[in-house]
Amino acid sequence: TANFSAFAEVISSYTPEFVASRCGITVSELETAANYWEQSQRVLSLWSMGMNQSSEGTAKVRSLINLHLMTGQIGKPGCGPFSLTGQPNAMGGREAGGLSHLLPGYRFVKNAEHRTQVEEFWGIAPGSISPNPGRTAWEMITGLETGEVELLWIAATNPVVSMPDLERTKAALLRSPFTIYQEAYYPTETSAYAHILLPATQWSEKTGVMTNSERRVTFCPGFDTPSGEARDDWRIFAEVGRRLGFAEHFAFDNSAEVFTEYAQLTRGQPCDMTGLSHEYIRQQGPQQWPCRENEPVHPANEAKRLYTDRRFHTPDARARFSAYHSRGLSEPPDPNYPFVLTTGRLYGHWHTMTRTGRTEKINQLHPDPFLEIHPRDAAKLQIKEGDLLEVRSRRGKAQFPAKVTKAIAPGTLFVPMHWGYLWAEGAEANAMTHAASCPDSKQPELKACAVQLVLVGADTAAEVVAEVGEFNWAKSTVAVTS
């Protein structure tokens, strides 16, 4: 490893007493956790959006990885840091270059050598690929506000529900001179903002591969006939590429040919898939990368482990310790906004309900949005189960019925993120969230914003928070319902 001294210097500032206080636990509990880790032969760390969707998400994840490096809990069975990604093909999208700062095969737009490798492979002129990363999703919104973004092409997502600071997002989308929306489902909240709709096939109607979190590439054959004019996403992209004058570069007849080109682009990269093809995976079953050309067939049910030789994908093959101080929430609670609102998912629904909202069985499982509040906070505010509450941040507001439960920590509120205005008007979680993001990942801090709470129908906010002197609701107004 490298950079351990910087890490050691940072953690010297974090005494057990300080950490326990910050985390809301006792020193004894902190020591117990440390002893469990130290005494275990195998430690597996799993995390998901709770760590990632933060203004210091990368720092949090790398700090967890630090513990694995420091204790040798990596590169052997039953241990290591394991990200539970937010989508089943999240890794596949990254390795294919599906982010604005990436090129295929974990290459980076800013890296001149990487740009040259891709330009030569594609047979395009040197310097054709810009050295400047494209915009993040939020930078597209601000670009619409300033007029710098003049064409917006949205594919396979529903930003009018999923983006932070929704009122600002909606206002920016209304300013778009030309919005193309490519989606398998209709209507969605975003479709109302589009100038052109492009119908796309859904998963059952198209053939391709997916890569899961353990690097396993699975062949997914289509088994249904596309509806109406729907086309596979890659066919839509390729057709536009041809009409822009790049016919020879988009001369694909099927998704197998697209994957073959991509697999060749991974040669020599960490995710080398030169030994894979649709036909190979169909015959041999799902395969983990690296799977290089002319390598022996690897049993599909056997794990191919990384880092067993303690060599990593850095210039000197050493893993890097990170050294971050904790900065805390981008928008902490204060007397005017005393609660932290966190958002998340429910078991049955998927993202913004474009499909699950139309599935009767799932809607029976999760029929309506709600707000979780701890009994201690509910008692202070005289809130009962089922009371209609209005949540307000500095950006927006929404209303939810109360669910009083010890499953949420005191001082924290939870609402599910799935419902947009098509499914539950006025109950949009991201009406309250803000756009502050991690400087490395650019992931917005969707997991925490400061809010206040008002009981809908109360004459004044003061009535709601009687006897709660530490809360200052002077700036509150009260929603009135018919």
Say whether 339-464 and 4-83 share the same fold.
no
How far does Cα 434 stand from its chain's mean position? 15
For helices 16-23 and 27-39, give the axis angle rounded to 10 degrees: 110
How many residues are there in the chain? 482
Which CATH code fits 339-464? Answer: 2.40.40.20
Residue 153 is inside which H or E element, if any?
A: strand 152-155
Question: Cβ(299)–Cβ(225) under 8 Å?
Answer: no
The pLDDT assigned to 460 comes to: 41
How far, CA to CA in Å, does 56 sit from each of 59, 422, 438? Answer: 5, 33, 5
Q: Residue 459's pLDDT is what?
A: 45
Which CATH code, of 3.90.1150.10, 3.40.228.10, 3.30.70.20, 3.40.50.1820, is assigned to 4-83?
Answer: 3.40.228.10
- Distance, in Å, from the CA atom of 424 to the CA atom of 400, rounded to the nearest integer, reads 10
> What does pLDDT average to in each consecutive run of 10 residues of the chain (482 residues)?
97 96 95 96 94 96 96 94 88 92 96 97 96 97 98 97 98 98 97 98 96 94 95 97 96 97 96 96 94 81 85 95 96 98 93 93 94 98 97 98 97 97 96 97 96 81 38 32 28
Angstrom distance (rounded) from CA 330 to CA 11: 21
Q: Which of 368, 426, 433 is nearest to 402 (CA)?
A: 368
Q: What's the predicted TM-score (pTM) here? A: 0.90
In terms of C-beta distances under 8 Å and separation of at least 24 residues, what long-range contacts does 105-110 make, across chains too?
Answer: 105/265, 105/266, 105/267, 105/269, 105/270, 105/271, 106/269, 106/270, 106/271, 107/269, 109/133, 109/134
pLDDT at 303: 74
Query: Under 8 Å CB-to-CB from 104, ≥6 apart: which residues?
Result: 95, 96, 97, 118, 262, 265, 266
Burial status of residue 474 (CB atoms within 10 A of its CB: 0-12, 13-18, 19 or more): exposed
Give tens-digit pLDDT for 114-125: 999 999 999 999
The topology under which CATH files domain 90-288 is Rossmann fold (3.40.50)
β-strand pairing of 388-392 with 449-455: antiparallel
CA atoms within 13 A on the CB side of 422: 18
CB 193 within 8 A of CB 177: no
Q: Could you say which DSSP state residue 38 is in?
A: H
Do the Cβ atoms of 208 and 96 come closer than 8 Å? no
Longest dimension (CA), the chain: 75
Per DSSP, 84 falls in state -
Q: How far is CA 320 from CA 84, 110, 451, in A?
A: 22, 20, 38
pLDDT at 294: 87
Q: Is the dihedral of CA 192, 205, 350, 219 positive or negative?
A: negative
Edge-to-edge strand list for the sheet holding 287-288: 208-211, 216-220, 287-288
List of residues 6+ apart from 295 with CB closer than 8 A? 275
| Helix/strand/coil for 91 | helix
Total Cβ atoms within 10 A of residue 344: 17
CA distance 142 to 125: 32
Q: What residues form DSSP beta bridges with 8?
A: none
Q: What is the DSSP-derived secondary structure letter of residue 320?
A: B
CA atoms within 13 A on the CB side of 114: 17
Residue 187 preceded by cis peptide, ω within 30: yes
The 8-class DSSP code of residue 457 comes to: T
Which token pair is 365?
């499982």
Domain ranges for the chain: 4-83, 90-288, 339-464
Q: Which residue is associated with the tokens 């000197």?
A: 316
In this predicted structure, what is the pLDDT of residue 463?
42
